[in-house]
A and B are shown apart, each in its own frame.
Chain A
Amino acid sequence: MKNWRTVHRVMTTAVLTAMMSTALLACSKSGGEDQAGASGSGAGDSGGKKEITFVAAQYSNQTEPFLKKMVAEFEQANPDIKVKLQVVGWDVLEQSVNTMVSTKQTPDILNMNTYAAFADDDLLVPLDEVLTPELKGKFYESFFKAGEMNGKAYGLPLLASVRGLYYNKELFEKAGIKEPPKTWEELRQTAKTIKEKTGVDGFGLPMTAFEGQADFSYYIWGNGGDWKKGDKWVLNSPENVEGLQFMTDLVRKDKVTNPEPTAINRDELQKVFGAGKVGMMITANFLPTILKADAPNLKYGVAPIPVNEGKQPFNLGVQDFLMVFKSTKNKDAVGKFLSFLYEDKRYEEFMKNEGMLPATKPVGESMAKQDELTGQFISQLPIAKFYPLTDPRFTEIRLETVKAVQQALLGQKSPKDALDALQKVAEQK
């Protein structure tokens, strides 16, 4: 029995150690939060310095160095203001923001992809109170509008991406295709030809919770449909059903896509495209930045997203926002900081670092002149459509939508049944 006791003792020690380290972690964490809280509660005023906290999202390895440099420059230009910068990775951003909100320790400025839930809980400052009219005039109207709820602006567009149809030029050549497809029918034919002539999957379609809502949007908007009409969800409109039917046919009837769309996300499919194992795919304007590093020898072209015969061209705009929380004690300092951030030269450098598109017109014009492909994408900005982000429930509906589309693509439900059920979920509550 002696051995048994040793095991017991070892296990007890292990459990104790684990508990101690958890406790330590908890302590150090609460310590950190206290500091953040102190700054939020205006303790910064006492020393004569105004303090603002800025929680930023990490877009790439360059984000933090760039923002640090910017904060240093700002503090030099405004000696009475101190900026506490916190750069958080996307994978933990939602969790940390959730903690900040539920413990009432919101930052002065937050950078995130949604703002509606916070505006809905009356946590945000309307931007008119902090923005200079000069800065407000710089933004593309469609972008600025996407940050408005009930006539008031809460989400300040920080950066944007739009989409394009990427195609592999070598595969096109091998299959004898001259032009990228413009309509759905051409897309189907092109994908078929690639599959028949080269054996490679013609068209890449990712459909997971990662970003399945984007691919759904391509086919409803490309057919004149939409997520919402006015205040109402219209997920099972005839246009939407037809769009989903087209997607489903590509996968199940024509069999010209990657074999299992529900098992691959956009980023993974981009790698497959980079390896030349899929002929075409629709994805964001930052793919070239990725391909430059991952697949420098790939010959590819970019074309507008195909639409159904006779329908209006469109693009999907995805943007991230800055928002200002009501907990802020220093609105004027926040305003100064925002104006500083969006100064043309500085903002342009930020966008170029990240491979993103700017939300302000002067920088858009300047960047379009410097690079042809960027110019091509920037020219699409005016026709960009956005997800219904002003509805706080979009986060939930988006997930339900991906599930419904997956059910159609897997043959578990017909497109109509899947979207009817989805519409019912959206209408609840």
Chain B
Amino acid sequence: MNMHNGAAAAEPKPAGGRRTRRRLRLAGGLAPYLWLAPSLLLIILVTIFPIFELFSTALSKVSLSGVKKGYVGLQNFSNVLRDPVFWGVLKNTLIWTVGVVGISTVLSLGIAQLLNQEFPGRRLVRSALIVPWAVSLIITSVIWRWILDYHYGALNLILQKLHLIDQNIYWLASPATSFPAMIGVGIFVTIPFTSFLFLAGLQAIPGELYESAGVDGANGWSKFVHVTLPMLRQPLMISTVLNTIYVFNSFPIIWSMTKGEPVNQTDTIITYLYKLAFVAHKMGDAAAVSVISFLLLLLFSVAYIGLVMRRE
């Protein structure tokens, strides 16, 4: 928005002498940056500086109490990469991210379509959908842990009452059940944001497009494939990039439901690095893991956006 102001100040002046024009151009060139300076300063302070610190920690030997003891090159990275646990955790992170982002994107497409229809009580349903997003993530996760609890959980109770099981199931004990359950919770809290993004995108599609597609004889499915999906490309891109970053970095769900146990089998990178840093006190290794995940996300974002942009 600041850019607009700068441009507006320069543009409306009628063409005058060369000097004035140059001065104007100069002012027009500087003004935006002047406007941007405070935010740039903030970004440097709260983003660039910590990232610099992170890289410097990742390349240092850090004692158990947190004192930096000089540079060690890539020692921390080789420690991490040689640890088989890291690769298991990376695999979990991949399943976790692709599972949550993929499934919630597909479900949200459907939900957005539904919410875009006229039906009685639409406003109520729309506002109800916001709730899982509005509630704190930790609260949601803890409530789900209670629902899935072995001794007192509501899910076991319901299943027993329906005579579907005759013995309680220990949902959060084995990764075979706990990991899918956590992915489910992840999807549950990701859907609101994604559906609303898509809903906004759907509302921006002009109705005439569907009408003319209908005239050309397109049925519901081909309307969806040839009109809706292409028109939703931008929201799809934004939701995928943002969701991937959020979900990849999501800590509360796993931490409050299984803490990554047993034996790191439900850890993702973020819980693993938290344990490295604050439980095992291996700050250098933790920083190295953090740098790796930072680079992975950067790589993904650049590759994905590049792919989408090129198609445009």
Interface residues of A (CB under 8 A from B): 1-4, 6-7, 16, 19-20, 22-23, 26, 94-95, 98-99, 101-102, 117-118, 120-121, 123, 208-209, 259-260, 262-263, 272, 275, 277, 392-393, 395-396, 399, 403, 406-407, 410, 412
Number of A-B contacts (CB under 8 A): 107
Cβ 8 A contact of B200, one of A7, A20, A395, A412: A7
| A98 close to B42 (CB less than 8 A) | no
| B67 close to A102 (CB less than 8 A) | yes
| B170 close to A259 (CB less than 8 A) | yes
Known contacts A123-B65, A395-B280; decide if A406 and B201 are in contact (CB<8 Å).
no
* A403: B residues at CB distance < 8 A: 263-264
Interface of B is mostly: loop
Tell me the smallest distance from the CB of B290 to a CB of chain A, in Å.
Answer: 15
Known contacts A23-B42, A98-B283, A396-B281; decide if A120 and B263 are in contact (CB<8 Å).
no
Cβ 8 A contact of A3, one of B63, B203, B263, B283: B203
Other than the given A395-B281, A403-B263, 8 more pairs (CB < 8 A) read A20-B42, A94-B279, A101-B65, A120-B63, A259-B173, A396-B281, A406-B261, A406-B262
| A3 close to B200 (CB less than 8 A) | yes
| A406 close to B65 (CB less than 8 A) | no
| B64 close to A19 (CB less than 8 A) | no
Known contacts A101-B65, A277-B151; decide if A260 and B263 are in contact (CB<8 Å).
no
| A121 close to B63 (CB less than 8 A) | yes
Cβ 8 A contact of A410, one of B63, B200, B263: B263
Nearest CB to that of A429 among chain B residues?
A: B79
* A120: B residues at CB distance < 8 A: 63-65
| B42 close to A412 (CB less than 8 A) | no
Nearest CB to that of B206 among chain A residues?
A: A1
* B39: A residues at CB distance < 8 A: 16, 19
Q: How far is the CA of A19 from the CA of B44 in the complex (A)?
A: 12
In the complex, whether B204 has a CB less than 8 A from a CB of chain A is yes
* B42: A residues at CB distance < 8 A: 19-20, 23
| A262 close to B173 (CB less than 8 A) | yes
Question: Which B149-181 residues have C-beta < 8 A from chain A?
Answer: 150-151, 170, 172-174
| B64 close to A393 (CB less than 8 A) | yes
* B262: A residues at CB distance < 8 A: 208, 262-263, 406, 410
The 6 A-B pairs with the shortest beta carbon distances in the complex, nearest first, are A260-B173, A263-B173, A117-B64, A262-B262, A117-B65, A101-B66
In the complex, whether B278 has a CB less than 8 A from a CB of chain A is yes
* B279: A residues at CB distance < 8 A: 94, 209, 395, 399
In the complex, whether B215 has a CB less than 8 A from a CB of chain A is no
Q: How far is the CA of A396 from the CA of B170 in the complex (A)?
A: 29
* B275: A residues at CB distance < 8 A: 209, 399
A to B CB contacts below 8 Å, 26 in the list: A2-B204, A3-B204, A4-B204, A7-B197, A7-B200, A20-B42, A95-B278, A98-B277, A101-B65, A102-B68, A123-B67, A208-B261, A259-B170, A259-B173, A260-B174, A262-B263, A263-B170, A272-B151, A392-B64, A392-B65, A395-B280, A396-B280, A406-B262, A407-B263, A410-B262, A412-B263
Tell me the smallest distance from the CB of A410 to a CB of chain B, in Å.
Answer: 6
- Chain B 41-74, CB-CB to A under 8 Å as 1, else 0, gives 0110110000000000000000111111000000
In the complex, whether B234 has a CB less than 8 A from a CB of chain A is yes
